[in-house]
Chains A and B, each alone.
Chain A
Amino acid sequence: MTAPSSLLRRRVFSTDHKVIGVQFLLFSAFFLVLGGLTALAIRWQLAWPWSRVPIVGKALYPATGGVMTPEGYTVLFTLHGTIMIFFVIIPLLVGAFGNFLIPLMIGARDMAFPRLNAASFWLMVPAGALIVASFFVASGGPASGWTAYPPLAPIASAAAGRGLGQTLWLVSVFLAGVASTLGALNYVATVVMLRARGLSWTRLPLTVWALFFSAIIQLVALPVLTAGAVLQLFDRFLGTGFYTPAHLVVNQFTPESAGHAVGGQPLLWQHLFWFYSHPAVYVMVLPAMGIVSDVLAVHGRKPVFGYRPMVFSMGTIVVLGMFVWGHHMFVSGLDPAAGTAFMLSTILIALPSSVKVFNWLATLWGSRPRYDAAFLNAVGFVAMFVIGGLSGIWLASTPVDVPLHDTALVVGHFHFVVFGGSVFAAFAALHHWFPKMTGRRLDERLGKLHFAGTFVLTACVFLMMHQLGMAGQPRRVADPYVYAGLAHLKPLNVFISKSAFLLAAWQGFLVVNVVKTLLAKPEGERNPWDANTLEWETASPPPHANFEAELVVARGPYEYGVPDGPRDHRRQVGPG
């Protein structure tokens, strides 16, 4: 395998998994900025509703002199959710780190299907372009929430923004779904077929296990959402009525009079949507769990405690995770007997997660941490994930969920999982594998500063959302103070918004760190962390086809704290 000679083939239309991984990294970084800006605009409106949006207000809302419109607010949270899930967290953890790490960590020269892999990235580009374009549609951006519930979403007359904007949204989600399915197929084939000699399943690093499990979720569940999106497109353009019940009068429009079929079920979409979109949470958090396990072991200089329980608990999450989607539908009109079943399965899925938390604690117990930025972010993940997991139990409890459903408490809950969890794990991964990607270590002082501020501000932004929800502030409401009973929550919302602006600004330390490090001279160290796994057995950055020679694996990935010998660790390769 020799590297292609043309620059275009090497850097842009490459089939090298490392290049594709870095492309996914840049892709998700771009959308992280966009998604973050939508979050700030949302927070502006919630703290100071109907006041002129600073800086971008005039350009975005010219008709009102820079004041956000109610439909503009709806577009913002629709795009925020869609972008953060489909274009940031999944491409970041699965696309970027999955692509970069899987072949390296299993000692393979590339993915099983390098062209399929490239196709997976190049389908995300039009998907991303469409979602950006949808924001600028003159008739309004997509405004049905990232959940796109019918009849609101498919029926174009339901309001402004359900026209071209919503169509672009649907096509974008469809393309992203196809892209992820192709990627997942590739990951599963690669892990099954291309492990180095001696790398048995029980010697696989937990990061690879986690990415493998995420890929299985995507393979099994994602086609359901993709097909569901196609049905919504049919309802819009082919006159079908999969999701349209009879006798609707939407904004003086009746689907029957326009020749549309009716007799469908709005709840059908909710089932199809959540059948993937709940497991998608595990797609976002399983890789984080794997990454954190590896980072804690390497930077804590101690084996991962309970390797097999760690693998089994992730496997349990995959299987049980397919049977919990109904907890999004407790108050939807779902049969209450099904609600009972979904309550039991959802409360039970807290069990594998808590087993993992206890195993992380046991890994930390008596470890010899370096307290570097990678380690700190991994500890931050554990702390944040515990909070998000525990408030999840309240929402799994059907009677308690009734007053809390669709309130700000739910927003706080899942941001602790996805921001506190997945994003902190991504920071840990960035610090840990940046030297492998670029041959340079990130600056530790800047890294620690970035961690400490991000940790405090994340708590400031998301913790008190629990209280907002208890007090009754609903989600997706452009002006909560319309309700007199919520007026007293304004100071809390102002505090949260100010914290959110600071949190965003604080990410400047990470940007400065990355830029500064990239401008520095490469150290080119192969194994700066004294780690055991296979990705450290090659140059930094690794050459095309990854390894100079074929690797033969002799042991598991977590031989740290070795009592005898000059080194405290035994690499997976070699005599010891």
Chain B
Amino acid sequence: MRLVTVLLILLLGAAAVWSFAAARAHGWWFPENVSVFGARIDALFDLNLWITGGVFVLVFALLAWTVARGALPGRARPVHGDLRLELVWTLVPAAIFVGLAVAQLDEWRELKYAGARPHVAVTARVVASQFDWHFVYPGPDRRFDTLDDLETTYELVVPAGEPVVLQLVSRDVIHSFFVPGLRLKQDVVPGMRPEVWFEVRGPADLELVCAELCGWGHYKMAGRVRVVPRAAFDAHLAALERAFRSNGKDER
């Protein structure tokens, strides 16, 4: 049973390493990132993966080795501990963990802290409700909650090559605005109006996923985020405005 156990440990270790090594080739990796900032999150993930991967290989090798060499003659040496070893395997991991945490503080600050928000007006308001995504542009007067607000649903269009700021609003329960291709996720909590920001260099067509359980239809609360050049974005807004002027007045 000794060899079987060693084999099982090595098998699990190899499978775990393979599952990440082979992931890209099989499409099991993150979807392609288009966000300028998302690239830095990907780099941090790689850092995390390499550090934890190194620890993983080391620990599994030690585990397999200790289990493998068990069948020695005589009795075990009755060692109850060793202070120096304890210090080594407390302080070295502590340094690694603290270092890893500190290495990620900048990205977290730029991702979420209000001070890192680009100094631009809110591009659009995202309004989530069971089980649809609605999007509101401020219209020609550039102010929300006025008569010329432009509303659309399912597909959010934003400009490429400039910072985009979205305000997230929920009408009912908690939803979560998740765009895997942007490495962006933010819960949409009723009573709060969180903002998210990102920048995409070129055109892109991305899936929008609801990532917080919001009821029976949670699974189908899909949307899209389409990133287009500035000119196309302006044309899109103009088209929305025309549509609004031609048939929207009666509804208001």
Contact = CB atoms under 8 A, between A and B. Distances in A.
A459 B15 contact: yes
Contact of B194 (A333, A383, A476): A333
Interface string A405-424: 11100000000000000000
Contact of B78 (A309, A362, A560): A560
B80 to A, nearest CB: 5
A479 B220 CA distance: 8
B219 interface: yes
A343 B104 contact: yes
A477 B218 contact: yes
A161 B217 CA distance: 13
Contacts of B86: 306, 309, 355, 359
A57 interface: no
Interface in A481-505: 482-485, 488-489, 492
Contact of A403 (B89, B174, B180): B180
Given A371-B5, A376-B1, A397-B101, A151 B78 contact: no
A403 B207 contact: no
A351 interface: yes
B97 A402 contact: no
Nearest to B171: A249
B72 interface: yes
Interface string A428-459: 00000000000000000000100010011001
A468 B11 contact: no
A339 interface: yes
Interface string A535-564: 000000000000000000000001111110
Nearest to A329: B187
Contact of B213 (A74, A355, A485): A74
B154 interface: no
B202 interface: no
A435 to B, nearest CB: 19
B186 A333 contact: yes
Interface stretch (A5-13, A119-127, A386-394): A386-394
A383 B60 contact: yes
Interface stretch (A33-41, A92-100, A152-160, A170-178): A152-160
Interface stretch (A101-109, A141-149, A183-191): A141-149
B137 interface: no
Interface in A237-260: 245-251
Contacts of A73: 219
Given A159-B216, A347-B101, A399-B111, A371 B1 contact: yes
Contacts of A383: 9, 12, 60, 63
Interface in B196-221: 207, 209-220
Nearest to B210: A474
A568 interface: yes
Interface in A300-341: 300-309, 331-333, 336-337, 339-340
Most chain A beta carbons < 10 A, residue from B75, B178, B183 = B75
Nearest to B51: A393
Most chain B beta carbons < 10 A, residue from A305, A393, A482 = A393
Contacts of B108: 336, 339-340, 343, 398-399
Interface in B1-56: 1-2, 4-5, 8-9, 11-12, 15-16, 19-20, 23, 26-31, 40-41, 44-45, 48-49, 52, 55-56
B67 A364 contact: yes
A183 to B, nearest CB: 30
A398 B186 CA distance: 12
B187 A343 contact: no
B215 A303 contact: no
Contacts of A278: none
A249 B2 contact: no
A149 B97 CA distance: 32
B63 A382 contact: yes
Nearest to A149: B174
A489 B26 CA distance: 9
A354 B52 contact: no
Given A400-B41, A472-B180, A249 B172 contact: yes
A331 B75 CA distance: 53
Given A251-B130, A459-B12, A470-B23, A479 B219 contact: yes
A343 B109 CA distance: 12
Contacts of B16: 387, 459, 463
Given A306-B81, A367-B70, A379-B5, A331 B185 contact: yes
Contact of A406 (B19, B29, B72, B211): B211
Contact of A394 (B52, B66, B69, B72): B52
Contacts of A248: 171-172, 190
Nearest to B103: A397
B78 A367 contact: no
Nearest to A559: B78
A489 to B, nearest CB: 8
Contacts of B70: 300, 364, 367-369, 371
Nearest to B186: A331
Contacts of B237: none
Contacts of A309: 81, 86, 90
Nearest to B59: A386
B209 A472 contact: yes
B104 A562 contact: no
Contacts of A149: 173-174, 212-213
Given A400-B104, A482-B222, A333 B76 contact: no
Contacts of B63: 361, 364, 379, 382-383, 386
20 contacts: A70-B219, A73-B219, A74-B213, A74-B218, A158-B130, A248-B172, A302-B79, A339-B112, A368-B76, A386-B56, A397-B100, A399-B41, A399-B108, A406-B178, A455-B8, A459-B12, A466-B20, A471-B180, A474-B178, A483-B207
| In the A-B complex, the 9 residue pairs with the closest CB atoms | A245-B191, A336-B112, A467-B28, A561-B76, A472-B180, A302-B76, A364-B66, A71-B216, A561-B78
Interface of A: 69-71, 73-74, 143-145, 149, 151-152, 155, 158-161, 245-251, 265-267, 300-309, 331-333, 336-337, 339-340, 343-344, 347-348, 350-351, 354-355, 357-359, 361-362, 364-369, 371, 376, 379-380, 382-383, 386-387, 390-391, 393-394, 396-400, 402-403, 405-407, 448, 452, 455-456, 459, 463-464, 466-468, 470-472, 474-480, 482-485, 488-489, 492, 558-563, 568
Interface of B: 1-2, 4-5, 8-9, 11-12, 15-16, 19-20, 23, 26-31, 40-41, 44-45, 48-49, 52, 55-56, 59-60, 62-63, 66-67, 69-72, 74-82, 85-86, 89-90, 93-94, 97-98, 100-101, 104-105, 107-109, 111-113, 129-130, 171-174, 176, 178, 180, 183-187, 189-192, 194, 207, 209-220, 222
